Amino acid sequence: MSNGGKMRIGVEGARELEIEVDDLEAAVASLEGGLSDGSMVWLTDSKGDRHGIVGGRLAFVEIESNDDRSVGFGL
């Protein structure tokens, strides 16, 4: 089972979309598929809202896993 996290996706034209997803691995696989053929990629966020992105218009994808977060001041 994959862990959830946030994705920040840059699209041509200096626009960014930040969504929180329940399954990062599935979202990444969906984006990779859209990049290969330039089709529309649909992602569902953790609230159930759907976001459509044209694969050929992606500028970057930044992934922040929920596992990377720490709490407190320890090193």
> What residue spans define the domains of the chain?
5-65
**Buried/exposed 51-70: b ≥16 CB within 10 Å, e otherwise:** eebebebbeeeeeeeeeeee
CATH of 5-65, one of 2.60.40, 3.90.226, 2.30.30, 1.10.150: 2.30.30
Contact of 61 with 55, CB cutoff 8 Å? no
What is the Cβ-side half-sphere exposure of residue 29, based on CA atoms within 13 angstroms? 5
pLDDT of residue 2: 57
pLDDT of residue 14: 62
> Global pTM?
0.63
pLDDT (tens place) for every residue of the chain, 75 residues total: 457 788 887 777 767 778 888 888 888 888 888 777 778 888 888 889 888 888 777 778 888 877 655 545 454
